[in-house]
Structure 1
Amino acid sequence: MSTPSRFKKDKEIIAEYESQVKEIRAQLVEQQKCLEQQTEMRVQLLQDLQDFFRKKAEIETEYSRNLEKLAERFMAKTRSTKDHQQYKKDQNLLSPVNCWYLLLNQVRRESKDHATLSDIYLNNVIMRFMQISEDSTRMFKKSKEIAFQLHEDLMKVLNELYTVMKTYHMYHAESISAESKLKEAEKQEEKQIGRSGDPVFHIRLEERHQRRSSVKKIEKMKEKRQAKYSENKLKSIKARNEYLLTLEATNASVFKYYIHDLSDLIDCCDLGYHASLNRALRTYLSAEYNLETSRHEGLDIIENAVDNLEPRSDKQRFMEMYPAAFCPPMKFEFQSHMGDEVCQVSAQQPVQAELMLRYQQLQSRLATLKIENEEVKKTTEATLQTIQDMVTIEDYDVSECFQHSRSTESVKSTVSETYLSKPSIAKRRANQQETEQFYFMKLREYLEGSNLITKLQAKHDLLQRTLGEGHRAEYMTTRPPNVPPKPQKHRKSRPRSQYNAKLFNGDLETFVKDSGQIIPLIVESCIRFINLYGLQHQGIFRVSGSQVEVNDIKNSFERGENPLADDQSNHDINSVAGVLKLYFRGLENPLFPKERFNDLISCINSALREMLPVQMKKLQRHPLCIKTVD
């Protein structure tokens, strides 16, 4: 390849890399905008709720005053009557008069209840919404700080990848140049040796000495160029190894950010929001239910909405609203240079000892980091549970505010023990904010540690695979491009990455032949999990699961892992069913051939027609049906 073509190819590779990094950078900016927009929408929603309940409190106050005026107007007319004197004495009245007094007392009671309701709206519900608004803004600011740190770390990783890629290109170009010069020296040597083989009887002695001297010079030049070529070749191999290791670490870091860190950041923004909103709305529900039980039918709709305040599903919807911002990007692929077809870390003899030492160092450091990070994780989870306990206190029941007596206590004294008037509220909020501060500090520490572990683990695993296949290293470095390695005998133990056939969106028969699995692991494992935990689940195969969890399970199966191997139900059943549906939906050739589909439907319909009369007879003999007929 000529020099201009080589430079053009290098520019195209760099331009493609820069374009991909630019897209990721734009995604990071868009993610921050989405989170900020979500916070603004929440604050506006809370402001609207405050305005709504403030106006409703005014209406309830006016209604209470009108009821009180109504009761007072008619009570004043009866105070001078004999009936009123008899009522004050022993309350032994005729039934119509007693009903009249009870009606007036009920109006006064309703007046007091509506005044209580207005007070709860003004001094409890509205104040709760104000606190939620403050908490949401504070949570967003703290999450934004962590997001900026994660973005900076991610860009550092991408810049590091760019640097090692440029270094690899430079050393590889120098290696090619040194090889060219070495071949040129070899050609000169062959030409000089050919001249030395001519008949020498007619050559003077002086010319013979000159030829010998020239041959020695060429030999020395060849030796120097041979040494230079060996040196440059070694540098090129090391640079390529470093590029491949950094490439693996970069892809792992980017994948972790989009799949895990983004979810954690959204959780931070949501921290306490749903639970606090749940408490505020339940305060409203409690007041309304105790005021008028006949309104339960309409309020049940609101209660169902309150019961559905769940951060996990809201987060999933939020991410689905902005798929372009939260969809993980494509993995960075190895960009070969100048026809270099080696796409694996080289474990040849010159660098094998160095790679082994580096692998051992990574293994030791990872062991220490994982222990430390696990402790930080436990502290973070314990702190999060403490915060959840703080924001899920069931303090929204105001039924005691509607317990009536003959006393003439004011409305304020009736609600003197409400949520916001308790002396401990200031201390509770201070403790909550202090705990939040500690949680964010530990979360930052955990995320930074897990990011470092992810990068080091990616390098460690790549080195482990490389050093474990040392006997195949020479074959892998010399085989022609686009020629797959020979399949091993024990295919069941191979990693998923070595299968020639695709698991998802592939051909089932080809996969079975290549993997040695009579039934694909994904089918067997998903059906086993559904059989254990999903047979009584409502909406199985109909309700969609979490797209994030579906992608996680899918990627684990594609790596040859079995994420459903343990017997603990730590996966959402709808997500597992979604993975199974995704697998069968993507097969190139469906399980039931298209040309036999109509025959299959006909068989099913025939079987149903034969079964229906039998089932109807059994149903008619059922005790419930007999009782209904009787």
Structure 2
Amino acid sequence: MTSPAKFRKEKEIVAEYDTQVKEIRAQLVEQLKCLDQQCELRVQLLQDLQDFFRKKAEIEVDYSRNLEKLAERFLTKTRSTKDHLLKKEHSILSPVNCWNLLLLQVKRESRDHATLSDLYLNNIIPRFAQISEDSGRLFKKSKEVGVQLQEDLMKVLNELYTVMKTYHMYNTDSMNAESKLKDAEKQEEKQMGRSDRQTPRSPDTLSSIKTDEKPVRRSSVKKIEKMKEKRQAKYTENKLKAIKARNEYLLALEATNSCVFKYYIHDLSDIIDCCDLGYHASLHRALRTYLSAEQNVETSKHSGMETLEGAAESLEANGDKQKLMETYNNVFCPPARFDFQSHMGDTRGVVCAQQPLESELLQRCQQLQSRLSTLKIENEEVKKTMEATLSTIQDMVTVEDYDVSECFHHSNSMESVKSTFSESYLSKPSLAKRRANQQETEQFYFTKLKEFLEGRSLITKLEAKHDLIDKTMGESQKSDCCLASGRRNSALRKQESGEVIPLMVESCIRFISRHGLQHEGIFRVSGSQVEVNDIKNAFERGEDPLAGDQNDHDMDSIAGVLKLYFRGLDHALFPKEVFHDIISCVAMESLQERAIHVKKVLKSLPNKTLIIMRYLFAFLNHLSQYSDENMMDPYNLAICFGPTLMSVPEGNDQVSCQAHVNELIKTIIIHHDTIFPGPQEVQGAIYIVPGAGDDFCDSPHCEPPLVEEPAPETVSVSRNSEDVMALTV
């Protein structure tokens, strides 16, 4: 039987799982609250805008009436005076003409403000009302999708819990069966020992006792042997069930982690997109209508309108989504992966592919592959339909109908003016039809969106299981092939280049360190493409065009060459294999904790890659110390180098992930000395601040000691760790 300590351990494991699930459930609740809050703020904003323009319309119409009264008062007087002058003189004096033009301008201004008031009441305010209605409707539909996805996610977590409990149960049965088997073996040994320890007796008595005891002893031994055989069979059966249950648990564990990651990285982003669907474009149209009206009423107010126009032009759904996710980073960042929870000493956290399970796993892998092929084709068709529908919706809400210039093209008559634009916009019979078509298209889009998300969830789950099985089945063979290939490629690269730091990288950094630390906008401003190509071609010929102390090159072009080198690598400096592990540190609030996490992840990279990273980020840290002059602090440098050094894998939201990449690069720039190993740990070139060493000089034949080469006897040590994998230079 299992001991109380083991039962307590099992309860602790279950409690830890429950705690993690509770945290995720709380996070899901907070996500919906956050979206509800955004919707409430949006509705309040739209209501405030309506109230503002309603009050402004009242002010404009009062102003128009006062101007009309003022103009009519003096126009009446002017007409009588004009008639008198015309009778007295056959021509109008220039001062009188100016006076008449001034009064006509007041009359025109009165009509303009009346038109403005009409536009506010009959055009702009109804637009905001429609935006509010559309936003509420779309948010409700988006929330329904989000709740459904959260329920599906909790089902996956519950399935994981069920599979884990099944694994624990079968493993307990296996251990109990093993204990019973050992008891039977002890009884057998005890019975055999008892027969050997029988005391001697007289021949007559012995013969009589043998006659009586022989059947009894044989029956007892046979019974024990039969019991042992049964328990042996029971133990074998329970052990096989325990192994199968553990395999199912591991597969479910991998699938659960993939589903959780997919929800936080992809689904949340899609839900926010749906909440914002058409909102920014519609608000943009309404504000552009207001801007057009104001600019036509008074061109003198143009400078004041530029600020609002800039804000209207900056309306952008992805930008707002990114800000929202950054503001609530702790809510939207993916949680930690679920780890394998070993049970009662069973620490083998890998899928068992040995016989008799190998053929079963192989068949299951083939079935998963076939199912995935069909699902991917079906889901791709759904995606194409969804994207086409989304394009249609976007065309509906991005109609450029905000120009109201025609409303201000008045005739010379003094009759009152009513906005023909507002009539055309709201009074057309086709308006109701257009609104109905838009809502029908939205409904079809959400149907396809839900179908696509559900299909993607299933594909993610099945792919996780398939990839884990496939990796388990071919891990040893692939490992041997990759090791041999890596050694051959490493030897070939060593023959092509014997430098730890490529000449192009070392020379560009040396030049910038000597002449460009205070250059404003370094790495942000593009240089001359012709000069960039010339310098790059010179390096490829084996020359060093930046050698010596001359400073006749464009600094932005030198910076462009350095970025071009890292952009042109076959594989990014940060491998895609470590992307998800290293990017998870962004959820940590402390920069020091991020640095420690990054250091752990980067330990697995080859020494050559670490040496180049150490050299580059030490230089970037040095460059950021001059941010007061060059305007390039660690974050600005991260924006320039993030997309170059770490590419976002396909299938991830490029916008949100790129922001996380930039934050990660900024952390590495600030804490490079903590993250990367020192020269004592990894032998290789290091970046030294120019002028810090005693041997620094300005002679063309004496270069600054930016690169410190290891001693000859230590070079071979640093090279041995690079045989498996080396950075292409």
TM-score (norm: length of structure 2): 0.70
Q: Give the direction of change, closer, same or farther, for the CA distance of 1:361–1:396 in structure 2 (3 Å limit).
A: same
**In structure 1, how many angstroms separate the alpha carbons of the residues matched to 2:301 and 2:456?**
52
**2:434 aligned with 1:428:** yes
Query: What residue is the counterpart of 2:568 in the other structure?
Result: none
Contact 1:113/1:291, CA 8 A, preserved across alignment: yes
Residue 65 of structure 1, CA deviation: 0.4
Map of 1:53 onto structure 2:
53
Of 243, 246, 256, the match for 1:250 = 256
431, 456, 459: which one aligns with 2:465: 459
What is the match of residue 219 of structure 2? 213
Q: Does 1:121 align with 2:131?
A: no
Which of 390, 412, 418 aligns to 1:406? It is: 412
Distance 1:30 1:578, change over 3 A: closer
Residue of structure 2 in register with 1:446 after alignment: 452
1:155 equivalent to 2:245? Answer: no
Please say if residues 383 and 435 of structure 1, whose CA atoms lie closer than 8 Å, have aligned partners that are also in contact.
Answer: yes
CA contact (8 A) 2:122 2:422 kept: no
1:138 equivalent to 2:160? Answer: no
- Paired AA for residue 689 in structure 2: L
Shift of 1:85: 7.0
The root-mean-square deviation of aligned C-alpha atoms, in Å, is 4.1
Whether the 8 Å contact between 2:596 and 2:675 is mirrored in structure 1 is no
Distance 1:402 1:495 in 2: 58
Name the residue aligned to 1:279.
285
Moved more, 207-216 or 353-362: 207-216
Among residues 298, 304, 318, which one is paired with 2:310 in the alignment?
304
> Secondary structure of 2:351's match?
coil
**Helix, strand or coil at the partner of 1:349:** coil
Tell which has more relative contact order, 1 or 2 (C-alpha 8 A, sep 6+): 1
Answer yes or no: is the 8 Å Cα contact 2:407–2:419 preserved in 1.
no
Task: Provide the rounded CA distance (Å) in 2 between the counterparts of 1:188 and 1:10.
Answer: 31
Residue 123 of structure 2 contacts residue 422 of structure 2 at CA under 8 Å; is this kept in 1? Answer: no
Distance in 1 separating the partners of 2:385 and 2:57: 44
Rounded to whole Å, the distance in 2 between the matches of 1:272 and 1:458 is: 35
Deviation for aligned residue 1:306: 1.0
Whether the 8 Å CA contact 1:347–1:467 is kept in 2: the answer is yes
Which amino acid letter does the alignment assign opposite residue 310 of structure 2? N
Alignment match, 1:378: 384
Q: Kindly indicate whether the alpha-carbon contact (under 8 Å) linking 1:79 and 1:85 is maintained by their aligned counterparts in 2.
A: no
8 Å Cα contact 1:545/1:572 also seen in 2: no
Structure 1 CA distance for aligned equivalents of residues 349 and 602 of structure 2: 27
State the AA in 1 paired with 2:323: R
Query: Using the alignment, how far apart are the partners of 1:84 and 1:572 within structure 2?
Result: 79
1:353 and 2:359 aligned: yes
Q: What does residue 340 of structure 1 align with?
A: 346
Cross-structure match for 1:482 = none
Sort the Cα spacing of 1:257 and 1:465 in 2 relative to 1 into closer, same or farther, 3 A. Answer: same
Partners in 2 of 1:72 and 1:390 — Cα distance?
45
Residues 2-13 of structure 1 correspond to what in structure 2 (within 5 A)? Answer: 2-13=2-13
For residue 17 of structure 2, what is the aligned residue in structure 1?
A: 17
> 1:491: how far off?
5.8
2:624 counterpart residue number: none
Q: Note the alpha carbon deviations across 1:370-417, whole angstroms, 9 max, x for none.
A: 000011111111111111111111100001111122234532264465
Aligned with 1:362 (options 368, 373, 386): 368
Displacement after TM superposition at 1:607 (Å): 10
Q: Can you list the C-alpha shifts for 1:574-608, whole angstroms capped at 9, x where unaligned?
A: 7655554445556564569799999716459x999
> Counterpart of 1:101 in structure 2: which amino acid?
N
Superposed CA offset, 1:7-40 (max 9, x none) = 2122211111112111111111111111111111
Answering whether residue 306 of structure 2 is matched by residue 291 of structure 1, we say no
Distance in structure 2 (CA, Å) of the matches to 1:338 and 1:171: 12
Distance 1:323 1:513 in 2: 27
Tell me the equivalent position of 2:609: 519
1:112 is displaced (CA, Å) by: 0.3
Paired with 2:67 and 2:76, the residues of 1 have a C-alpha distance of 14
Q: Which 5+ residue runs of structure 1 have no aligned equivalent?
A: 474-484, 528-537, 612-630
Against the structure 1 CA distance between its residues 416 and 370, is the aligned structure 2 distance closer, same or farther, given a 3 Å change threshold? Answer: closer
Tell me if structure 2 keeps the 8 A contact 1:507–1:589: no
Structure 1 residues 599 and 116: CA distance shift in structure 2, 3 A:
same
Question: What are the residue-to-residue correspondences of 1:52-91 with 2, within 5 Å?
Answer: 52-83=52-83, 86=86
- The alpha carbon displacement at 1:471 in A equals 7.4
Shift of the 34–240 alpha-carbon distance from structure 1 to 2, 3 Å rule, reads: same
SS of 2:418's partner is helix
TM-fit CA distance, 1:122: 0.5
Q: CA deviation at 1:212?
A: 2.8
Instruction: Evaluate the alpha carbon distance shift between residue 609 and residue 230 of structure 1 in structure 2; reply closer, same or farther with a 3 A threshold.
Output: same
CA–CA distance in structure 2, aligned partners of residues 266 and 522 of structure 1? 39
Q: Paired residue for 1:532?
A: none
Q: Is 2:689 aligned against 1:600?
A: yes
Task: Rate the CA distance shift 1:264–1:512 in 2: closer, same or farther, 3 A.
Answer: closer
| Count of aligned pairs between the two proteins | 572
Displacement of 1:231 after TM fit? 0.3
Q: Indicate the residue corresponding to 2:183 in structure 1.
A: 184
Q: Secondary structure at the match of 2:609?
A: coil
Contact 2:278 2:397 in 1 (8 A): yes
Structure 2 Cα separation of the partners of residues 309 and 66 of structure 1: 37
1:269 and 2:359 are equivalent in the alignment: no
Residue 111 of structure 1 aligns with which residue?
110
Structure 1 residue 430: Cα displacement: 1.5
Give how far 1:208 is off.
3.6
Question: Which stretches in structure 2 are left out of the alignment for 5+ residues?
Answer: 490-574, 586-593, 618-630, 701-729
| Residue identity in the other structure for 2:273 | D
Q: Structure 2: which amino acid aligns with 1:138? A: R
SS at match of 2:40: helix
TM-score (norm 1): 0.81
Going from structure 1 to structure 2, the CA distance change for 1:594 and 1:461 (only over 3 Å counts) comes to closer
Q: Note the C-alpha offset of 1:457.
A: 0.7
Cα distance in 1, alignment partners of residues 10 and 19 from structure 2: 14
> Secondary structure of the residue that 2:256 maps to in structure 1?
helix
Quote the residue 1:619 is aligned against: none
CA contact (8 A) 1:165 1:243 kept: yes
Instruction: Summarize the Cα distance change of 1:80–1:331 in structure 2 as closer, same or farther, 3 Å threshold.
Output: same
368 and 599 in structure 1: CA distance in 2 versus 1, 3 angstrom threshold: closer
Cα distance in structure 2, aligned partners of 1:436 and 1:110: 43
Letter in 2 for 1:116: T
Would the alpha carbon gap of residues 353 and 470 (structure 1) be closer, same or farther in structure 2, given more than 3 Å must change? farther
Contact 1:32–1:144 (8 Å) recurs in 2: yes
Any idea what SS the aligned residue of 2:245 has? helix
Structure 1 Cα separation of the partners of residues 115 and 404 of structure 2: 10
Mark the CA change 1:23 to 1:444 in structure 2 (over 3 Å): closer, same or farther: same
CA contact (8 A) 2:71 2:106 kept: yes
**Contact 1:279/1:396, CA 8 A, preserved across alignment:** yes
Is 2:30 aligned against 1:30?
A: yes
- Once residues 583 and 198 of structure 1 are traced to their aligned partners in structure 2, the CA distance between those partners, rounded to angstroms, is 77
| Secondary structure at the counterpart of residue 336 of structure 1 | coil
Alignment of 1:577-616 (within 5 A): 577-585=662-670, 589=674, 600=689, 602=691
One-letter code of the match for 1:94? L
Distance 2:28 2:389 in 1: 28
Inter-partner Cα distance in structure 1 for 2:27 and 2:337: 15
Distance 1:495 1:343 in 2: 24
3-state secondary structure, aligned to 1:519: helix
Letter in 2 for 1:519: T
Amino acid at match of 2:148: Q
Amino acid at match of 2:382: V
